[in-house]
Amino acid sequence: MRTGDGVKYWSDKPMLVLKVHQKEIMNDKIQTILSILHDLYPGADCALNHEEAHELLFATIMSAQTTDVNVNKVTFTLFQKYRTIADFANANLEEFMEEIRSTGFYRNKARNVIGAANMILQEFGGNVPQTLEELVRLPGVARKTANVVLGTYFGIPSGFVVDTHVKRLAFRLGLTTQTDPVKVEKDLIESIPEEEWIFGGHAIILHGRSICDAKKPQCPVCPLIVACPQNGIPQ
């Protein structure tokens, strides 16, 4: 306790020491998780098939509320028909809707893909933007899609990709208590080293698909169990 001006104050040093200790524990936990993920998924990458930046961008837009496998089935023929950004910009809307119907929400996705293609041509000189601020101006593009494109294609760690798998695993692993994707991302980029953002996003997604299932997580065989409090999982 310290005093001043006749007023007594409880020292804040113990609280500071506690916070430092908690941060050290979290850092050790993050390093353990990352080490295990590197062993499990060396070279983890995006599962959406693409060769060009615009292909990844449009595939990611189409991946909302569906699986990458489903999108890859569609883009296998789609990318043979529409080879350039101009091809997408000039696509017939009704025809394009039918071509991507199996991805779900195809009306909005078709408008967004064609709209994004036109905006890239008109405002970005025909090149996919390489900043998050510019990418999120495109129709159908929010932080997750922008982070996927920047990290996967351009190698720019603009943030941490937060999809349904990352959101679920981040909570189960005790890396966040948030449910809003933007707030989840904020917690992740504050605790995970920037050089691990791209790999970490891909690896956590793969782990969510293969082991940490939404309904039936395989905890007994999960290598991450050593660092996982299993938040939200019935014991």
- 29, 68, 109, 144: the catalytic one is 144
3-class secondary structure, 142: coil
DSSP letter at 102 equals G
d(CA 207, CA 212): 6
Residue closest to 62 by CA, chosen among 81, 88, 26, 84: 88
- 81, 163, 187, 215: the catalytic one is 163
d(CA 135, CA 42): 28
Q: Which helix (H) or strand (E) holds 19?
A: helix 13-40
Tokens 């078709």 belong to residue: 110
Q: Is the dihedral of CA 233, 46, 50, 52 positive or negative?
A: positive
Assign residue 66 a region (left: φ > 0; alpha: ψ between -120 and 50; beta: otherwise).
beta
Mark whether 144 is an active-site residue: yes
Mark whether 183 is an active-site residue: no
Residue closest to 111 by CA, chosen among 140, 84, 73: 140
d(CA 144, CA 43): 20
Q: Known catalytic residues?
A: 144, 163
